Structure 1
């Protein structure tokens, strides 16, 4: 029996939960860092006298780093291992977050945010790949969505920091707090094993066997030594061009459209909602309070997606939640009263983050192990192009059209993006629920 079959037949054991928790804590701090930027943007605008387009640059430059980090980390993870890349990128973005707190103007802030993005972009797709590769078949999708659910807690933490501390201590305190736990997460991740599937691909079967055997012992399962498949299956990865050839072209096309669309739509609203609400006449403190309440809706969004993804499948969940996000974005753009803003804003967070969880679960399952890191990394990198463009495009539109017209047009644009992305998954996507990872 080979490593892949032994991994897939396992029940959930304590080691699975410890890996999910350790990886998830790092994911939480990643999210908190991204969230802090959107919450400090109104304060930066006031202190430095920045225009909406300059604020958009602060949001976009981090995404430039994330695009580059995702593309590089995927290839490096297929060559050197998932664990090494995760640890390095955590240290990088933690140090850069602390540097952002020392920024004295737009230029130094842009530099800091680029390196933060480089670390974040490299860490996220590799972490989801590791969790996908090490989880049992029956709960693989659910575990990756649960990993992504830590993003909600990080965003909630960012909202709390912004609401409770920024008005009293200033925006710099947010970045100082954001730097410390990111570095501490490195120590948690020392307990994370390397992916056994990756180790087999590298010909390191003894190491892979030791990890899987530990899981089998926790499950009370015994494997006859004579039944173990000790065949080494080391294979070469593929080049970037090969992602568009043979059997890879369709999943690559689907994933690139999916990642591009959800990044543009998501970062188009999360980076700007606090500022847009201020533009509608709400005080900064009230805007932060509204967003804090809205972000709570992320949690049930993730958990419902985690349940449904193993029941109705990855493709159906993606279409359902992307369509829900499109509808919520449209009505949020038409909202004027506090009640309308809170209800539609909560639904916007609910559906969009549920969709994100499904994206991270679905993406690694479209590629074999030898190319999984590269395929996932490039999909994430292309997606970050949408994240780069969105904050700047929103800033330019908002500045050109004014507070009222700009607000409605921005959310109409985001509605169209989410709807087109849902249609792409419907017509191009292939279901991967129950698929054996090779």
Structure 2
């Protein structure tokens, strides 16, 4: 039996080394940072609404500004990561995110705050697209789905830790500004860690240098703890050029379109839930600090859901798990919207919803890694995330206007939960298109 000895085969078939595990772990921490950065505005929302005297419709727009930035960032910077490299893009995104968080803390008007959150979201979007590619390219074939799902699970972990810190800051007399100051410092602290512990991926180096770059690739393989490759396969003409139209060309068009629909609709449900939980709980008559704790429990459930789904991917198809999680998540969001009289019940339901909704998000990230080849991985992921984040931005805005129009919470939750149900349908169609109706 012939043993392949090109870089891709070496990484796919070999055990993961300490350096690879560290790189995956660091990418997971970066996603945790994203979790805090995105949800920082949710923890700050009650204070922002009080200081600037805005209604729920206007607050819904503010809550969505970094999500709009994320859409643009994922599209633009995800594509750029396939051109300049994963490591430089991670460093650039950290710089943008840290500056945006610091500037948000200085805001003295809703317009200025919205602009800074838009800027912050631009960096977060690029980070999401790049970390997904990084994990897929550092993990071996056996653990790729597990690694990507664990990376996605970093998001709610960051929200849990960050939310606990935010609640402590607010309970200790701090204002909403202090949440952004903490976020800026935590984000900047990752720059030296990336410089020290995150090498460039082998997949990108192969694409950048081709067969002539064998010595460069082998040096990186050695740093990762692997044997040298004896050759790099010839690249097809144009392989090193990333073209957007390829994502919708033969063989990828239906995959891209259905993944885009699934992500758009599911993430609309996801961000309605995580963005509006604190304000909805306050509107139910509970204190702001207590409302933040419900969101923390939602993210505890989210972290658990990502972990459980990631473990299950070792035994069951990731797409089947993702579809089931989307359906269960929709049911839990509807349940949350029903009348409840105590905070303990709300926390349990929020944790259940987080478990399934974030578990489904982890699953769909793993599907991105499976669906696109290495040279299009960051671009494809960025494209789906970028356009899909339109759903993320739309969720809180639509919810805000529906609430302002007088719609009751039970009906609102039912309408917004339909996003995950439509997403499950899109993934089911994708499954049948790939494997045939029979």
1:289 offset after TM fit, Å? 2.5
Say yes or no: does 1:138 pair with 2:147: no
Task: Tell me the number of residue pairs that the alignment of Structure 1 and Structure 2 aligns.
Answer: 422
Counterpart among 174, 178, 182 of residue 183 in structure 2: 178
1:400 offset after TM fit, Å? 0.8
Q: Check conservation: 2:132, 2:381, Cα contact below 8 A.
A: no
Counterpart among 187, 192, 203 of residue 197 in structure 1: 203
Residue 107 of structure 2 corresponds to: 103
Residue 70 of structure 1 corresponds to: 74
Structure 1 runs, 4 residues or longer, greater than 4 Å off: none
Q: 228-237 or 111-120, which moves further after superposition?
A: 228-237
Residue 435 of structure 1 corresponds to: none
Distance, in Å, in 1 between the alignment partners of 2:31 and 2:242 is 28
Distance, in Å, in 2 between the alignment partners of 1:237 and 1:325 is 39
Distance, in Å, in 2 between the alignment partners of 1:382 and 1:137 is 28
1:151-190 CA distance string (max 9 Å, x none)? 1221012221232112411111100001001011011111
Q: Check conservation: 1:200, 1:233, Cα contact below 8 A.
A: no
Alignment of 1:276-425 (within 5 A): 276-338=280-342, 339-401=344-406, 405-425=407-427
**Local SS of the residue matching 1:247:** coil
Residue 428 of structure 1 corresponds to: 430
**Please, what TM-score do these two structures have when normalized by structure 2?**
0.92
**Local SS of the residue matching 1:237:** coil
Q: Check conservation: 2:75, 2:379, Cα contact below 8 A.
A: yes
Q: Cα–Cα, structure 1 residues 206 and 430, in superposed 2: closer, same or farther, change >3 Å? A: farther
Q: 385-394 or 280-289, which moves further after superposition?
A: 280-289
Alignment of 1:226-241 (within 5 A): 228-233=230-235, 235-241=239-245
Q: 355-364 or 339-348, which moves further after superposition?
A: 339-348
Counterpart among 193, 213, 220 of residue 211 in structure 1: 220
Q: Cα–Cα, structure 1 residues 299 and 371, in superposed 2: closer, same or farther, change >3 Å? A: closer
Counterpart among 112, 116, 134 of residue 116 in structure 2: 112
Distance, in Å, in 2 between the alignment partners of 1:70 and 1:288 is 28
Distance, in Å, in 1 between the alignment partners of 2:318 and 2:356 is 14
Distance, in Å, in 1 between the alignment partners of 2:38 and 2:387 is 18
Q: Check conservation: 1:367, 1:375, Cα contact below 8 A.
A: yes
Q: Check conservation: 2:325, 2:357, Cα contact below 8 A.
A: yes
1:293-333 CA distance string (max 9 Å, x none)? 33222222111011011210211111111111011111111
Cα RMSD for the two superposed structures: 1.8
Q: Cα–Cα, structure 1 residues 308 and 430, in superposed 2: closer, same or farther, change >3 Å? A: farther
Q: Cα–Cα, structure 1 residues 258 and 205, in superposed 2: closer, same or farther, change >3 Å? A: farther
Q: Cα–Cα, structure 1 residues 215 and 39, in superposed 2: closer, same or farther, change >3 Å? A: same
1:337-376 CA distance string (max 9 Å, x none)? 3244222211101111111111211102211122222111
Distance, in Å, in 2 between the alignment partners of 1:126 and 1:149 is 16
Distance, in Å, in 2 between the alignment partners of 1:429 and 1:315 is 8
Q: 325-334 or 237-246, which moves further after superposition?
A: 237-246
* Structure 1 stretches lacking a partner, 5+ long: 433-438
Q: Check conservation: 2:269, 2:419, Cα contact below 8 A.
A: yes
Q: Check conservation: 2:297, 2:350, Cα contact below 8 A.
A: no
Distance, in Å, in 2 between the alignment partners of 1:65 and 1:289 is 27
* Structure 2 stretches lacking a partner, 5+ long: none
Distance, in Å, in 2 between the alignment partners of 1:215 and 1:83 is 15
**Please, what TM-score do these two structures have when normalized by structure 1?**
0.92
1:401-432 CA distance string (max 9 Å, x none)? 1xxx4311221012211111111101214799
**Local SS of the residue matching 1:150:** helix
**Local SS of the residue matching 1:246:** coil
Distance, in Å, in 2 between the alignment partners of 1:400 and 1:421 is 26
Residue 436 of structure 1 corresponds to: none
Q: Check conservation: 1:313, 1:431, Cα contact below 8 A.
A: no
Say yes or no: does 1:92 pair with 2:101: no
Q: Cα–Cα, structure 1 residues 38 and 209, in superposed 2: closer, same or farther, change >3 Å? A: same
Q: Cα–Cα, structure 1 residues 188 and 431, in superposed 2: closer, same or farther, change >3 Å? A: farther
1:369-402 CA distance string (max 9 Å, x none)? 222221111101011100111111111001111x
